[in-house]
């Protein structure tokens, strides 16, 4: 099996300041890779740099599209935009960053569908309902504006909006960040189900080790912009080798 995404020696600097340095990642179809570390460790810079939100200074990002490997940093802007609309998806920590608040819930979900050329109103409407159902939002809310939704509903709507075109790679930055724990559990359950049903490949950033343990197959631990340890998720959490990972794991409060 070929990795669907591989990142080699990626660097991103802000002036002299390190954003992330020497980062590598391999993501296979159906796999979830978690990126953890304290705030300021470069997690968000890394995920933004590999998803097209930021332009890295150097490195290689290879995306397998089915028939060829594309070097994401060397393709034309228009092809990049097309990929971002179709094969890639980005779920923001704050759903308001990923949704259009002055467009109805249904309109938000249909945006990616229309951008890949779907025009039949009936079909689009049907797909919207299917996805509202998948993310457990009542059909009757389809024409409501997102600003009337609760935080948890907004996050689920953002997930539906992103997954509707069956993207191959999903990037998530703290998808359960600002949510209370009962809503967080619901989103985690939803994400796990979708990953299995749709064979999604996911890169997820979180500072919450418990979230990563439940979702991720592999893990990258970042500190000061670099990966200090990476590998199988439960191995790194159960038997951390680097002193920083040991500190991180032992700092988690037990409930």
Partner 1 sequence: MIELNKITKKFTLHNQGKTNILVFNNLNLKINPGEIVALTGPSGVGKSSILKMIYGNYVFQSGQIKINNHNIDHKYPRNIIELRKNIIGYVSQFLRVIPRVPTIEIVMEPLLEINSDQDEVREKAEKILLKLNIHKNLWNLSPLTFSGGEQQRVNVARGLIRNYPCLLLDEPTASLDSVNKDIVLNLINEKKDKGSSIIGIFHDEYSRKYLKAREIDITKISDAK
Q: Shortest CA distance to 157 belongs to which of 169, 146, 173, 168?
A: 146
Reading the block at residue 6, the tokens are 């591989």
Q: Other CB atoms closer than 10 Å to residue 219's CB: what's the count?
A: 26
For partner 1, the closer CB: 28 or 145: 28
For partner 1, the closer CB: 55 or 181: 181
DSSP 8-state code for residue 117: T
How many whole angstroms separate alpha carbon 203 and alpha carbon 35? 7
Instruction: Give min distance, CB of 6 to partner 1, in A.
Output: 12
Instruction: Give min distance, CB of 162 to partner 1, in A.
Output: 21
End-to-end CA distance of the chain: 40
Which positions touch partner 1 (CB under 8 A)? 26, 28, 31, 181-182, 185-186, 188-189, 192, 196, 213-214, 217-218, 231-232, 234-235, 238-239, 241-243, 246-247, 250
How many whole angstroms separate alpha carbon 253 and alpha carbon 240? 17
For partner 1, the closer CB: 96 or 213: 213
Instruction: Give min distance, CB of 138 to partner 1, in A.
Output: 18
Q: Shortest CA distance to 190 belongs to which of 121, 132, 252, 128?
A: 132
How many whole angstroms separate alpha carbon 204 and alpha carbon 91? 9
For partner 1, the closer CB: 79 or 232: 232
DSSP 8-state code for residue 32: E
Instruction: Give min distance, CB of 246 to partner 1, in A.
Output: 5
Instruction: Give min distance, CB of 190 to partner 1, in A.
Output: 10
Instruction: Give min distance, CB of 28 to partner 1, in A.
Output: 6
Q: Other CB atoms closer than 10 Å to residue 156's CB: what's the count?
A: 23
For partner 1, the closer CB: 13 or 28: 28
For partner 1, the closer CB: 1 or 55: 1
Question: Contact, 158 vs 103, CB < 8 A?
Answer: no
How many whole angstroms separate alpha carbon 201 and alpha carbon 127? 21
């Amino acid at each position: 099996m070929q990795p669907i995404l591989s990142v080699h020696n990626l660097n991103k600097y802000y002036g002299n300041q390190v954003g992330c340095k020497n980062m590598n990642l391999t993501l296979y179809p159906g796999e979830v890779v978690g990126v953890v570390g304290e705030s300021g460790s470069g997690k968000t810079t890394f995920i933004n740099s590999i998803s097209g939100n930021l332009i890295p200074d150097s490195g290689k990002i290879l995306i397998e599209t089915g028939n060829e490997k594309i070097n994401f940093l060397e393709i034309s802007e228009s092809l990049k935009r097309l990929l971002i609309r179709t094969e890639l998806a980005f779920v923001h920590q704050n759903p308001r960053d990923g949704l259009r608040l002055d467009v109805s819930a249904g309109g938000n979900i249909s945006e990616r569908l229309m951008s890949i050329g779907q025009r039949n109103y009936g079909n689009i409407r049907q797909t919207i309902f299917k996805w509202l159902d998948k993310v457990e939002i009542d059909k009757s809310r389809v024409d409501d504006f997102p600003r009337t939704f609760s935080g948890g509903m907004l996050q689920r709507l953002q997930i539906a909006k992103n997954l509707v075109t069956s993207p191959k790679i999903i990037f998530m930055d703290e998808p359960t960040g600002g949510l209370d724990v009962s809503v967080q559990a619901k989103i985690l359950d939803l994400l796990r189900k979708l990953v299995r049903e749709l064979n999604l490949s996911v890169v997820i950033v979180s500072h919450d080790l418990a979230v990563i343990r439940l979702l991720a197959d592999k893990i990258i631990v970042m500190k000061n912009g670099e990966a200090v340890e990476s590998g199988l998720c439960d191995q790194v959490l159960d038997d951390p080798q680097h002193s920083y990972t040991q500190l991180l794991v032992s700092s988690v409060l037990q409930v």
